[in-house]
Amino acid sequence: MDMPRGLVRRILLLLQHTWATGCVALCGLNCSKTVMEAESQILTQSPDDTRRVTSSIATAAETRTTNKTEGLQKPSEQPSPSGPVARNKNGVVTISVHAKPGSKQNAITDVSIEAVGVAIAAPPTDGEANAELVRYLSKVLELKRSEVVLDKGSRSREKIINVTGSLTPEQVLDRLKQEASG
C-alpha cells in the first residue's frame, strides 16, 4: 500500500528524534535499524499500523519532554539511598562532593543527602583545587594522600572521591560530620 512521502518523512523525523532522545524499541520497531530499513518497514505497513507507530512515538517523545521539565534527574545524578558516602560495586568507599573552589580557607561546609560541600582554598585552575581537595580530605579522614583519589569530576564542581583506606562508609561520614560541626 503506497503512502504519501510527506507522511513518511514526518514519521522518519519522529523516529530520528525519538532515537536521539534515547527511547527504545517502540511498537516492535528495532532501534538498531537504519533509517532506510525503518522507511521500508513503514511503507509496507497498513495506514492503521503507521498511525499507531506514529502516535506511540509522539507519546513517548512527549513523555520524555514532560519528565525533563518536571526536574527528574539522570540516574548518575540521583543521590544514593545511603547518602553522600557509600561503597561502590568494587567495595571502595566513595564520597560525593560538591566543591567550592576559591574560598578563603578549606572547610566542610555541609553534609547533605546528595553531597558533602567542601570549600577549597585554591583556585579552580590547573588542577590546583582538585589537589587541595584530596589533600584536605586525606587530612580530615586521617589517611595517606594515596588513599584518597579523585575518581570523577576533575573539571566539575560535582566530584566523586574514592577512599581506599581501611575506613567504613559510616566512619568516613562520621569524620566528615565532625569536621563540619567544627
Mean pLDDT of the region 104-110: 96
Q: If you average pLDDT over every residue of the chain, what do you get?
A: 76
pTM passes above 0.85:
no
Mean pLDDT of the region 60-73: 48
Name the band, by pLDDT with cuts 50, 70 and 90, for residue 48. low
- Judge whether residue 122 has pLDDT over 80: yes
Q: What percent of the chain has pLDDT over 70?
A: 55
Amino acid 3: pLDDT: 59
Of 121, 102, 97, which is closest to residue 176 (Cα–Cα)?
97
Cell numbers found for residue 178:
565532625
Residue found under cell 500500500: 1
If residue 161 lies in a helix (H) or strand (E), which one and from where to where?
A: strand 158-163
- Judge whether residue 5 has pLDDT over 70: no
Buried-state track 2-30, b at ≥16 Cβ within 10 A, e below 16: eeeeeebeebeebbeebbeeebeebeebe
Class of the domain covering 76-181: alpha beta
Cell numbers found for residue 44:
509496507
Name the band, by pLDDT with cuts 50, 70 and 90, for residue 65. very low
Domain assignments of the chain as residue spans, ordered by start? 5-69, 76-181
Of 106, 97, 110, which is closest to residue 128 (Cα–Cα)?
106
Q: How far apart are CA 172 and CA 161, in angstroms?
A: 12
Three-state SS at 153? coil
Q: Averaging pLDDT over each range in 1-15, 67-81, 117-131, which range is the top one?
A: 117-131
